Amino acid sequence: MTGFRLPPLVVDFGQLWIQAELRGAGGNGADGDWAGRAAAELLSRPQWAAYRTPDGEERLVALLRQAAVIARKQAGDSATLGFILIPSPEEGIKGMAAFSPVDLAGRDAARAWDDLLEQLAPELPGDYPPDVTPMRTRAGECRRLRMRYASGEGPERPVGEHVAYLWVFEDYGAAVIMTISFASLLEAARWLPALDELASGVWLQRYPGEGGSR
């Protein structure tokens, strides 16, 4: 174990997603107009053709500026990458998948898997035990966790779902967790294939001479 290093994570994403700006101003800041660039990317996709007008583009840029502010609040200080689920103008924004690195603090891979899974999905009494599913991705082994939660009080509380994907990269002394939440179980089930596809497109950009297996 060589200590914590940020894994060189790359995420290939399809036309349901747009990459969020988590560190810049999100509007007209020093990092450039992310909202304008993101709007141009969306407008190049067939499902956004009706917005290829000055008024449509203006409304889309305004929406994305608001989305950038919300994305940074949701991501917090730990996330390094974020992808907004925005499938079409009719659907709007469905949520954001945030990628956050975790220092393994000297733990080997086996212990790291156990510890992090316990932190993400503790075995608590109740009606909603977590579901853990192994997956293979371009970045290697991954575990998908689905955790239902009830909000509010009373016997008929609405139930939503947290979805997380966990990778352990022992060579880097780090793990990476991708998280997203849905207020509705129906929405979570509907977009789960899109989340699996996003997770499957995660890979490590290794350089010549760098060790480790993909």
pLDDT at position 29:
46
Low-confidence residues in the chain, pLDDT < 50: 1-2, 25-32, 212-214
148 to each of 16, 24, 83, 161, 172, how far by Cα in Å? 24, 33, 22, 4, 31
Q: Quick: pLDDT tens for 162-181.
A: 999 999 999 999 999 999 99
Torsion of CA 190, 84, 47, 34, to 10 degrees: 180
Going by C-beta distance under 8 Å and a sequence separation of 6 or more, which residues neighbour residue 127?
A: none
Taking the C-alpha atoms of residue 188 and residue 14, their distance in angstroms, rounded to an integer, is 18
pLDDT at position 214:
37
- State the angle between helix axes of 54-75 and 34-43 in degrees (0 to 180), rounded to the nearest 10: 120
pTM here is 0.87
